[in-house]
A and B are shown apart, each in its own frame.
Chain A
Amino acid sequence: MSWSEFPSMSRSDLRELRKSIDESFRSFTIEYGDSLEAFFDPLLDFLIFSERLLLNTPWPLMIAICAGLAFSASRSWKIAVGVIVAFMVIGYLGMWADTMRTLSIITVCTIVAIAIGIPLGVLMARSNKVQAVVSPILDVMQTMPSFVYLIPVVMLLGIGKVPGLIAVIIYALPPVVRLTNLGIREVDSDVIEAADAYGSSSWQKLVHVQMPLALPSIFAGINQTIMMSLSMVVIASMIGVKGLGQPVLKAITNQYFAMGLLNGFAIVALAIIFDRVSQRYGLRIQKHRQGDSND
């Protein structure tokens, strides 16, 4: 026996192992595939609804709404004008429909990620046991190559919007969970003690003290989640999610440099808009931290 060769399982055993895992998963798929699909139906309806809404809204109205939202969140004319210019250029270069589709799936993703992530983060912050269990799962979600978990998702749900959404959420969920947890845990213990001394219940403490003080951190998490889900659109397009990812994928396989570049820039433009708007909003809700104006 030489030390340069690791004493591995025999080839046939290994094949058996893989085969048995594959087969049990396959039978699981056959057994539960349909009911799982039914379970995700409301999500599919929501996705279709939001996509239709964005696609059917007249483009001038859509741009006005986006610019209005950007302005009301950031209170910055620069950002609002930036949004208008970016959307005009995107539309003129023929990427309007794809951009709307991507915008739709990112919006749905963000909503779902927030709906799952913030409560999960709160639970983690309240219990060390939950944290001990959830933390390694989040590590796996963030580091596991996305293609690996695409396989079972596609086996279970086929290709289409919902598996794409799930893939994106698996990748984009961890930051909002982690930063909610961190934000709540880092709330000054003096302030928590004061809340206790005044007889607050744990719910009152959460709502009136911990969440407001963790908000900047939670916002950083939401911002990260949006960025990460945008970066997933190309991979999601491989399993049938329409949007800016598909032309990029087409460009890769056919070596259409300009097509890839343009769609890539559209994704970047969306990312920058989301990032600036959410960061500005995050800063604005922390106005109490600026302080010292009277000193």
Chain B
Amino acid sequence: MTDTKNAKIKIENLSKIFGPKAHALIPLLEQGIDRQTLQEKHKHVLALDNINIDLAEHSIEVIMGLSGSGKSTLIRHINRLIDPTIGNVIIDGENVCTMSDKALREFRQAKTAMVFQNFSLLPHRTVIDNIGFGLQMQKKNAKLIRERSYYWLERVGLKGFEHNYPAQLSGGMQQRVGLARALACDADILMMDEAFSALDPLIRSDMQDILLELQQEIQKTIVFITHDLDEALKIGDSIAILNQGKLIQKGSAEQILLHPADDYVCRFVADVNRTTVLKARSIMKVQSQSNVADAVVVQQDDTLKEVLHSMLSADSFNAIVKDAKGQCVGCIDSDMVAAAVNS
């Protein structure tokens, strides 16, 4: 569970107003002015409205919302590419918002690496030199840059393309370069701003698999921005939903599907294929004994899809749920499955 992990990034009371006189409007902000009034009366945009969120160490933290929800603004506060109007961002006990320029540069070099929606590669550099860019900014020696760049070049599957220029690669390949550039820095926090959104669906799915596979090994704190709920559900250990600059809900994929916080989230999750997200344990009836004769056995972490498959292929209407030790923890019948798929 994510709650047991330490919070790597703490975002406290963060608000951001865009506009020429943003700072003059701080008192109004503190009185809790709403987005619409600020827009209509003061011609300023309230991009983020009092965000409080903890992002856990070593997990993939998805922040999702539609365009204009403030998600890209929020992620840029983590490495202070955007300065907050009020509020703090605390990373490893240090307040990013009060750092001097020099400290901020060193912080960005040491602790964060970022992958961008439009790749943002350097067009005049070859693939291998792009991968080494972050390390070069850290003034690492040439040998180390070379070694690590080639290592990550291979890990993202671009061996043989090291001397190509970005313009010669497809979108998917360019984003692999972007990912390798970020990973080569070996920073604790990997920030991905709609990193896969510009890719076509098959390539996107590939890239998600690559990321999940790598995360098994690197165990970084990944902040992943997306507008795609399926993507969020697939890769997120925890998902935060933003709407109009407000944080609506944060929780695991199942929590969000089973207990949506409001209508907005409800509408958001309406079209999701629930069978691939919900797990046996969250829909079962808890009981330690089962005496149904023709029941199939499923694991508590099996998805609903797997449960369905087991039940249908055994031609059974009942399933017994067991935990990792083989202990019976509950049961599922066909009515419960039907209810979970439909709700």
Please indicate the chain A residues that have their CB under 8 angstroms from the CB of B121 in the complex. 191, 194
Please indicate the chain A residues that have their CB under 8 angstroms from the CB of B114 in the complex. 194, 197-198
In angstroms, Cα B114 to Cα A290, docked, is: 27
Minimum CB–CB distance for B79 against chain A, Å? 6
Chain B residue nearest to A190 (CB atoms) is: B120
Judging by beta carbons under 8 Å apart, are A198 and B113 in contact? Answer: yes
Judging by beta carbons under 8 Å apart, are B137 and A198 in contact? Answer: yes
Please indicate the chain A residues that have their CB under 8 angstroms from the CB of B167 in the complex. 288-292
In angstroms, Cα B166 to Cα A194, docked, is: 15
Judging by beta carbons under 8 Å apart, are A197 and B79 in contact? Answer: yes
CB-contact partner of B137 in A204, A286, A295, under 8 A: A204
Please indicate the chain A residues that have their CB under 8 angstroms from the CB of B157 in the complex. none
Judging by beta carbons under 8 Å apart, are A198 and B185 in contact? Answer: yes
Minimum CB–CB distance for B72 against chain A, Å? 11
Please indicate the chain A residues that have their CB under 8 angstroms from the CB of B165 in the complex. 287-288, 291
In angstroms, Cα B119 to Cα A188, docked, is: 12
Chain B positions 315 through 339: 1 when the CB is less than 8 Å from some CB of chain A, otherwise 0: 0000000000000000000000000
In angstroms, Cα B181 to Cα A212, docked, is: 19
In angstroms, Cα B164 to Cα A288, docked, is: 9
Judging by beta carbons under 8 Å apart, are A191 and B120 in contact? Answer: yes
In angstroms, Cα B139 to Cα A204, docked, is: 10
Please indicate the chain B residues that have their CB under 8 angstroms from the CB of A200 in the complex. 105, 137
CB-contact partner of A294 in B122, B136, B169, under 8 A: B169
In angstroms, Cα B106 to Cα A213, docked, is: 25
Chain A residue nearest to B126 (CB atoms) is: A288
CB-contact partner of B120 in A194, A212, A289, under 8 A: A194
In angstroms, Cα B173 to Cα A294, docked, is: 12
Evaluate whether A293 and B168 lie within 8 angstroms (CB atoms) in the complex, with A197-B114, A198-B114, A199-B138 already known: yes
Judging by beta carbons under 8 Å apart, are B120 and A193 in contact? Answer: yes
Q: Does A201 reach chain B (CB closer than 8 Å)?
A: yes
Q: Give the number of chain B interface residues (Cβ < 8 Å).
A: 35
Chain B residue nearest to A196 (CB atoms) is: B81
Judging by beta carbons under 8 Å apart, are A213 and B124 in contact? Answer: yes
In angstroms, Cα B169 to Cα A209, docked, is: 20
CB-contact partner of B133 in A193, A198, A215, A290, under 8 A: A198
CB-contact partner of B108 in A191, A197, A208, A213, under 8 A: A197
Q: Does B170 reach chain A (CB closer than 8 Å)?
A: yes
Judging by beta carbons under 8 Å apart, are A294 and B123 in contact? Answer: no
Q: Which chain B residues in 115-159 approach chain A with CB under 8 Å?
A: 116, 118, 120-125, 133-134, 136-138
Judging by beta carbons under 8 Å apart, are B124 and A197 in contact? Answer: no
From A193, A198, A201, A294, residue with most partner B Cβ within 10 Å: A198
Please indicate the chain A residues that have their CB under 8 angstroms from the CB of B124 in the complex. 212-213, 215, 286, 288
Chain A positions 168 through 201: 1 when the CB is less than 8 Å from some CB of chain B, otherwise 0: 0000000000000000000010110111111111
Please indicate the chain B residues that have their CB under 8 angstroms from the CB of A198 in the complex. 108-109, 113-114, 133-134, 137, 181, 185
Judging by beta carbons under 8 Å apart, are B170 and A295 in contact? Answer: yes
From A195, A196, A197, A293, residue with most partner B Cβ within 10 Å: A197
Interface residues of B (CB under 8 A from A): 79, 81, 104-110, 112-114, 116, 118, 120-125, 133-134, 136-138, 164-170, 181, 185, 191
